[in-house]
């Protein structure tokens, strides 16, 4: 399988590096930067082109890692020429542009995957049972200012990760969105907080900030089965579930002899609840994401994160941005 990478800057060079470890052949890259092209040729020994269209005819699939404002244009050039596409998140600057890519992929029978890499984070594997019945989710995603992705605001830059995760967990239409945010360093919003309510009664409270002093990527998921606390940055977490047979309504509190209980914490967390520290592997979510793309291209399969998923995340982001617009700070 012949793979190409369009955009070999900060993130794209990791795409190229990891493709070299997978069951495919990195045959070319494209980037308007002469320095980036020189680095790619020297590092991976592949030809590098200034114009991404030079890759058409040379590749079977391509990874598009360019500024968001160029996603629709670049991805469209490949899809309509029979090339499968992995496009970095968000799928496009608008849901309309994203849907245009989905339609093109369907029309030409191409694989279209979106780079929501958190779906491949090992932290998610430990909370399947909790996530399926999630009723309240809160997330905090903070990052220092990086001077990257300044063509979009923090909602499409950072919060989009958590919007995609919440939609995948809750699996219900959005009923309402309340949000607040504003610009600090850039013309777009640099911080945002949103409360999203779903038709099935679930609620998500998401906070994103790209002008923080230290990075933070945490999420807590609550349901009637228990709750999970996840740290995406360290790939660690904790899962708390009711022990088999637990029924608080049947627990006779009056007959409990607290003097005989010993340590109350131990009684609760060793007897009534099950606490599991999620000691997660040191996997590489980006490598797993790229491996899934290679698999889908080979098997003509639906990706873990499809184009439709990408459009749904941007649609939710647009609802958050619309709510922010109603509370704009001067």
How far is 159 from 219, CA to CA, in rounded Å?
12
Q: What is the pLDDT of residue 77?
A: 98
In CATH, what number is assigned to the domain containing residue 187?
3.30.360.10
In a domain, 25, yes or no: yes
CB 81 within 8 Å of CB 58: no
Cα distance between residue 142 and residue 162, in whole Å: 12
Is the same domain home to 185 and 280?
yes
User: What confidence tens digit (pLDDT) does each residue in 271-313 have?
Assistant: 567 777 876 666 789 999 999 999 999 999 999 999 999 999 9
**Token pair of 97 as six digits:** 């542009």
Residue 208 belongs to some domain of the structure: yes
* 137 & 219 share domain: yes
**Cα distance between residue 124 and residue 126, in whole Å:** 5
CATH of the domain at 94: 3.40.50.720
Preceding amide of 97 cis, omega within 30: no
In a shared domain, residues 280 and 158:
yes
- Phi-psi bin for 92: left (phi > 0), alpha (psi -120 to 50), beta? beta
Residue 187 pLDDT: 76
Q: Are residues 264 and 180 in the same domain?
A: no
Closest CA to 236 of 282, 273, 305, 193: 282
Amino acid 199: pLDDT? 96
**pLDDT value of residue 241:** 79
Residues 148 and 37 in one domain: no
Are both 280 and 258 inside the same structural domain? no
Categorize the per-residue pLDDT at 234 as very low, low, confident or very high, splitting at 50, 70 and 90.
confident
Work out the pLDDT band at 204, boundaries 50, 70, 90. very high
* Rounded Cα–Cα distance for residues 60 and 4 (Å): 8
* CA nearest to 201, candidates 238, 229, 176, 221: 176
185-199: pLDDT as tens digits: 877 789 999 999 999
Q: Is residue 60 part of a domain?
A: yes
* One domain for residues 64 and 21: yes
Q: Is the pLDDT of residue 236 over 50?
A: yes
Task: Tell me the DSSP string of 138-169.
Answer: EEEEE----S-STTS-HIIIIIHHHHHHHHHH
Flag whether 89 is in a domain: yes
Verify that 254 and 223 share a domain, yes or no: no
- Could you give the CA distance from residue 55 to residue 189 in angstroms, rounded to a whole number? 35
Residues 196 and 321 placed together within one structural domain of the fold: yes
Biggest CA-to-CA distance, the chain: 78
Do 173 and 321 reside in the same domain of the chain? yes
| Alpha helix stretches (DSSP H) within 8-153 | 12-19, 34-44, 71-79, 95-108, 128-132
- The parent domain of residue 123 ranges over 119-239+273-285+316-326
83 and 107 assigned to the same domain: yes
pLDDT over 70 percentage in the chain: 87
Verify that 40 and 161 share a domain, yes or no: no
Domain count, the chain: 3
């Amino acid at each position: 399988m012949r793979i190409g990478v369009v955009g070999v800057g900060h993130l794209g060079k990791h795409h190229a590096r990891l493709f070299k470890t997978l069951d495919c052949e990195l045959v070319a890259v494209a980037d308007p930067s002469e320095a980036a092209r020189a680095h790619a040729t020297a590092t991976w020994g592949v030809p590098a082109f200034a114009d991404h269209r030079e890759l058409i005819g040379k590749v079977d699939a391509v990874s598009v890692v360019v500024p968001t404002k160029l996603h629709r244009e670049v991805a469209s050039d490949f899809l309509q020429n029979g090339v499968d596409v992995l496009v970095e998140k968000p799928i496009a600057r608008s849901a309309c542009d994203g849907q245009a890519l989905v339609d093109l992929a369907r029309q030409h029978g191409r694989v279209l995957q979106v780079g929501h890499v958190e779906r491949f984070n090992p932290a998610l594997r430990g909370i399947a049972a909790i996530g399926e019945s999630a009723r309240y989710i809160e997330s905090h995603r903070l990052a220092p200012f990086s001077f990257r992705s300044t063509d979009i605001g923090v909602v499409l830059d950072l919060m989009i990760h958590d919007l995609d995760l919440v939609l995948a967990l809750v699996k219900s239409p959005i009923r309402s969105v309340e949000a607040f945010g504003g610009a600090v360093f850039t013309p777009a919003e640099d911080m945002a907080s949103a409360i999203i309510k779903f038709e099935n009664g679930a609620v998500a409270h998401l906070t994103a900030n790209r002008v923080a002093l230290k990075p933070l990527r945490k999420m807590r998921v609550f349901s009637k089965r228990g709750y999970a606390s996840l740290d995406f940055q360290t790939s660690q977490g904790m899962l708390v579930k009711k022990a088999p047979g637990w029924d608080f309504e049947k627990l006779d509190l009056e007959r409990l002899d607290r003097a005989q209980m010993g340590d109350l914490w131990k009684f609760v967390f060793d007897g009534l609840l099950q606490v599991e520290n999620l000691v997660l592997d040191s996997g590489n979510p980006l490598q797993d994401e790229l491996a899934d793309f290679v698999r889908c291209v080979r098997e003509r399969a639906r990706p873990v994160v499809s184009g439709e998923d990408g459009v749904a995340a941007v649609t939710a982001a647009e609802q958050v941005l619309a709510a922010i617009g109603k509370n704009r700070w001067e």
